[in-house]
Amino acid sequence: MSVELTKSRNQLNSVGTLLKQKKTQAAVIAMYEGLLGILRCKLMAREKKELAELIEKNVYILNNNQQLREVYPILLEYKPGNEKKLLSQLKEIIDVLQEDLANEAQKQLAELERKKQESLKKAKKLLEEKEIDQADRIFQQLIKEFDKDFKLKIDISDSLIDAEEYKKAIEYLKLAYKDNPQSVHIFNRLGMALRKLGRFAEAEKAYLQALKLNPKDEYLYFNIGRLYLENKDWEKAIQMSKKALELNPQFEQAQKMLSFVQKKLK
């Protein structure tokens, strides 16, 4: 007996066991691959009869599997000599099962996203009510459940910045940095949080790193200009507001900053 025929026989013999384990897709694939292997082999009359009986047995148990019937209600048909027709039907079932599996995965992802957004909404409400520790507990639980979710960490840090919880925001920005050290948004928001805490040198470093990553963003120049403005570094504030206006001449806030600082120097 050839190696391929032995492998095909083993695959066909595994169908019943896989169905008992509720591994419907694996059972159908085993049936498909086993049958495909048989079609490649030259069989003796005795082997043909034995394998035909095994195929008939598998067709019977597949047709009586409730889980499979729910997904694919059409009964399998088999007669010795019509293996190619059965193979085609098995391939169709595999495609249906894979599509069903993909749809189920999408549903699960959608449900996870819904729960995540509900938790974020609840935490934001707690922030509004100044229940900072309770909100942070929700945020920490979300990070445990979605530890690879970069956007979640950004959303949490943004919510904390909006709530003026700058130290906690920095903690989550550091977590986000580990996921994406090339994110302009992280350095921009980090600069903002550090500026609010009065840590101007660190804020400047963060903003300059953001500018290094994206030197064509007028809002970054404006934000670092605000830092220099608060630090009363008038010349640098003028320089940054002018660069912002070079990129966007209609940038009204940058124009106001420039006018304000120019008056200060008169």
Q: How many CB atoms lie within 10 A of CB 88?
A: 10
* Distance in angstroms (rounded) separating the CA atoms of residues 147 and 14: 38
Question: For position 198, what pLDDT does the model report?
Answer: 92
Per-residue pLDDT of the chain (266 residues; tens, 9 = 90+): 578 888 888 999 999 999 999 888 899 899 999 988 888 888 788 888 888 889 999 999 999 998 888 888 888 888 888 888 898 889 988 988 888 888 888 888 899 899 999 999 999 999 999 999 999 999 999 999 999 899 999 999 999 999 999 999 999 999 999 999 999 999 999 999 999 999 999 999 999 999 999 999 999 999 999 999 999 999 999 999 999 999 999 999 999 999 999 888 76
> Rounded CA gap, 147 and 139, in Å?
11
pTM assigned to the model: 0.66
Give the integer Cα–Cα distance in Å for 160 and 211.
Answer: 23
Q: How far is CA 114 from CA 105, 107, 138, 150, in A?
A: 14, 10, 15, 17
Q: Single out the residue of 199, 198, 202, 197 nearest to residue 187, CA to CA.
A: 202
Q: ∠ at Cα 16 (14, 21), nearest 5°?
A: 95
- Report residue 221 as tokens: 């120049």
Q: What is the DSSP letter of 74?
A: S
Helical segments of the chain, H only:
3-13, 15-20, 24-40, 45-63, 66-71, 83-128, 132-145, 150-162, 166-179, 184-196, 200-213, 218-230, 234-247, 252-265
8 A C-beta contact, residue 185 and residue 172: no
